[in-house]
Amino acid sequence: MDNLLINRLQLNPLFKNIPDDEMDLMLEEVPYKIKNFGKEYRIANKGDVCIRLIILLKGSVRGEIIDFSGKMIKIEDINAPRALAPIFLFGSDNHFPVDVTTNEECEVIIFSRESVLKLFQLHRQFLENYLNISANYATLLVEKVNFVSFKTIRQKISTYLLGLTSNDPEVVTLDRSMQQLSDFFGVSRPSLSREFGKMEKDGLIVKRHKQISFPNRNKLVRLLQ
């Protein structure tokens, strides 16, 4: 078996904690395909039936949807070695939730749904990893629903920042870039940057690159009441 392929797959959370020799045996037992796509290639359309597991080995793609006005909205960028919509492989409504387009030249490995079921049988760790990813996605979905419930950008920012204060209630470090945050909140990056600036001017936060402190944490809390 190609050691480079095994090393790349082991970077994916689906194959976490599976040793090389066991990975080798697993890949010998199940069929798969490796494909290459050029830049701006549409790998999947929103609504396509998801019947295969696609894992990025190289490159990045973006997930997008078209809103009611016809505007294309980017949901997120997905970089190697992540899988594309793994939790939508099963279930009665197993359709791609977004359009998936390559940002650059990409290499992927593709497993059919039957191959994934076989991998479940071959290695318990793979099954456990798959279930963990599904559970984490459900948690993320709940978190995003909570953000949608807040109408203002300031409320979204406050909720996010307060959620980072488990270790230190006065200082937090952003775990996403500004672009990632704007995609997560569903707002434009300039609007997000302006609101951070306004919050600092109003004395709600002090921002130093990715580190943010709270002169008065209770003020943020009151924004959400």
Residue 86 and residue 14 in contact, taking contact as beta carbons nearer than 8 Å: yes
d(CA 192, CA 205): 14
Whether residues 200 and 126 share a domain: the answer is no
Q: Tell me, yes or no, whether 128 and 47 share the same domain.
A: yes
pLDDT for residue 51: 93
Q: Is residue 192 part of a domain?
A: yes
CATH number at residue 47: 2.60.120.10
Residue 142 belongs to some domain of the structure: no
Which tens digits make up the pLDDT trace of 33-76?
999 999 999 999 999 999 999 999 999 999 888 755 566 777 78
Range of the domain at 86: 3-137
Q: Are 133 and 84 a contacting pair, CB within 8 Å?
A: no
Question: Are residues 78 and 101 both part of a single domain?
Answer: yes
Identify whether 64 is part of a domain: yes
Over residues 131-154, the mean pLDDT reads 74
Query: What average pLDDT does this structure show over 203-208?
Result: 90
What is the structure's pLDDT at 80? 95
DSSP, collapsed to helix, strand or coil, labels residue 177 as coil
Residues 11 and 119 in one domain: yes
Which residue, 102, 137, 172, sits at the end of a domain?
Answer: 137
Residue 162 pLDDT > 90, yes or no? no
Residues 29, 126, single domain; the answer is yes
Residue 143 included in any domain:
no
3-state secondary structure string, 44-89? Answer: ECCCCECCEEEEEEECEEEEEEECCCCCEEEEEEEECCCEECHHHH
- The CATH code of the domain that includes 197 is 1.10.10.10
Q: For residues 30 and 150, what is the distance between their CA atoms, to the nearest angstrom?
A: 46
Task: Identify the band that residue 23 occupies on the pLDDT scale cut at 50, 70 and 90.
Answer: very high
106 and 172 inside one domain:
no
Domain count, the chain: 2
- Are residues 207 and 103 both part of a single domain? no
Mean pLDDT over residues 78-85, rounded? 92
Report how far apart the first and last C-alpha atoms of the chain are (Å, whole number).
Answer: 58
pLDDT at 209: 84
Kindly state the average pLDDT of the residues 109-138: 93
Last residue of a domain, one of 111, 137, 163: 137
Average pLDDT over residues 26-39: 96
Average pLDDT taken over every residue of the chain: 87
38 and 131 share one domain = yes
Amino acid at 211: Q
* Same domain for 202 and 104: no
Are 133 and 171 members of one domain? Answer: no
User: Is 74 found in the same domain as 29?
Assistant: yes
- Rounded CA separation 34/54 (Å): 10
Q: Enter the pTM of the model.
A: 0.69
Instruction: Using DSSP, state whether 214 is helix, strand or coil.
Output: coil
Q: What is the pLDDT of residue 224?
A: 75
| 121 and 153 together in one domain | no
The residue count for the chain? 225
